[in-house]
Structure 1
Amino acid sequence: MSTTSETRTTRSNAPLSEPRAADPTSSIADPGPLGLAAFALTTFVLSLFNAGLAPEALESAVLPLALFYGGLAQLLAGMWEFRKANTFGATAFVSYGAFWLSFAAYVQFVEPTLPEAQHTTATGLFLIGWAVFTGYMLIASLRTTGALVAVFGGLFLTFLFLAVGDLLGVDGIATIGGYFGLLTALAAWYASFAVVTNATWGRQVLPTAPR
């Protein structure tokens, strides 16, 4: 048998490469802008009170936002991030959605049952754990975009200053945390604005500094 015919026989018997499976999530919209917007608005309103820029008597206005926008909307966004196989986004949105839901429950049901002298200590303990979580999420965010690094960097400082201020009973430190919260909210709004605008326009209109 000739070399040519052997080659043809070998090629005809070679297994065909299997076609790549279509991405089942390609038709699912990016849930990131929703989660960021929900986080930003709720954080902004609460931080107005933490920074002393809004009257403390109106602070209960945060609770509906914490339940339905910062809480429920972020939780849903996180579930869709799981569907999109985005481990970072899913962990962040589900966790911070749960933060807002637990914060609303804490303020509404737990804090009133505590001795008044221990309110700030209990709140500080509640927040310090979130500072730890945000710290390692900040490290993970270094592989995402500059916009998200700004969000997590600001949020880490927000939790840290609020927690330390409450644990030490120093209002001035907690107030600084409130201002960091306002900056964090603005960074999250920008990140949401950039992603949703770029997706809608079909090109990069606003930079997010991808890494």
Structure 2
Amino acid sequence: MPSTNSDVEKSAMAQTEYGPGSGDPVTYQRYPTRIANPGPAGLFSFAATTFMLSMFNVNTRGIQHPNVVIGMAIFAGGLVQFIAGMWEFPRGNVFGATAFASYGSFWMSYATINIPASGIMDAFSDEAELGNALGIFLITWMMITIFFLMAVVKRSVAFTLLLSALTIALGLLAGAEFSGMHVLQKAGGIWGIITGLIAFYIGIAELLAAESTAFMRFPVGNYDRPRAS
């Protein structure tokens, strides 16, 4: 028996879920998709890169130069996150698409700045000028993070904690660049480690939620929001 227009509409409406971590209802009314949730991939990539750089910022095991993180920033924090953002668009998740694509571009731009062949660092002969430039770079991303925080503060406890910690970390690291105070860099590194651990937690929660055979579930504190009917 052929499907009626009403059947098609009901089938499309049935494909409604909450966006990754944000509690944002995602409804595929016109363009149903079977794309899997890219949230865990994006979150794990963000978490791993942030955690690694932050461990370097607190001089773990005497490490003074964070350049080893460049590869992670290009391919994990950058490329994988950016792709995750692109996959969120056909799923209808505006927050996930915008956040993953934005932070993916952040990590790729950070890596480019720190690649010697780019010549960006060498363009600054004055160390104070370089610090001010990097400070502006970090402050800008702190502002963007605050904008993302405004979108989730009443939707998800986990994402509110994640973006709050990231805002503090970026603010402290920007202050370190402006002032040259190493203690601020360490403080930013500590908050960055906290940010990475929270992102790991949300990524695990999203991954387990997608597996019907998972033996446990982790709560992320999504507030109840009315679904489309």
Q: Give the TM-score normalised by the residue count of structure 2.
A: 0.80
Q: Which residue of 2 aligns with 1:168?
A: 179
Deviations 1:66-104 (A, max 9, x none): 010100000000001111111111110000000000001
Greater CA radius of gyration, 1 or 2? 1
Corresponding residue number in structure 1 for 2:165 = 154
Cα shift readout 1:116-149 (whole Å, capped 9, x = no counterpart): 5133222111101000000111111113321111
* 1:183 equivalent in alignment to 2:183: no
SS in 1 for 2:84: helix
In percent, how many aligned pairs have the same letter? 35
Aligned-residue RMSD, C-alpha: 1.8
Over 3 Å counting, the alpha-carbon distance change for 1:148 and 1:98 in structure 2 is same
1:198 CA displacement: 1.8
Gaps of 5+ in 1: 1-15
Residue type of the alignment partner of 1:186: L
Taking structure 1 as reference, are residues 202 and 83 closer, same or farther at Cα in structure 2, changes over 3 Å only? farther
Letter in 2 for 1:207: P
Structure 2 counterpart of 1:206, from 214, 218, 223: 218
Which contiguous aligned blocks of 4+ residues in structure 1 show a shift greater than 6 angstroms?
none
Alpha-carbon distance change, 64 to 17 in structure 1, aligned in 2, over 3 angstroms? closer
Note the 1:134-153 alignment, pairs <5 A.
Answer: 134-153=145-164
Tell me the distance in 2 between the aligned counterparts of 1:47 and 1:17: 54
**C-alpha separation between the residues in 1 aligned to 2:136 and 2:75?**
25
For 1:25 and 1:205, how far apart are their aligned partners in 2? 27
| Correspondence 1:18 to 2:18 | no
Greater helix share, 1 or 2?
A: 1
Tell me the alpha carbon deviations over residues 100-119 of structure 1, each in whole angstroms, 9 at most, x when there is no partner. 00001111121232125133
Question: Is residue 69 of structure 2 the alignment partner of residue 62 of structure 1?
Answer: yes
Tell me the distance in 1 between the aligned counterparts of 2:178 and 2:75: 29
Query: What stretches of structure 2 of length at least 5 have no aligned partner?
Result: 13-27, 224-229
2:131 aligned with 1:120? yes
How many residue pairs match? The answer is 195
- The CA distance in 1 between the partners of 2:57 and 2:126, in whole Å, is 18
Match of 2:23 in 1: none
Q: TM-score, normalised to structure 1's length?
A: 0.86
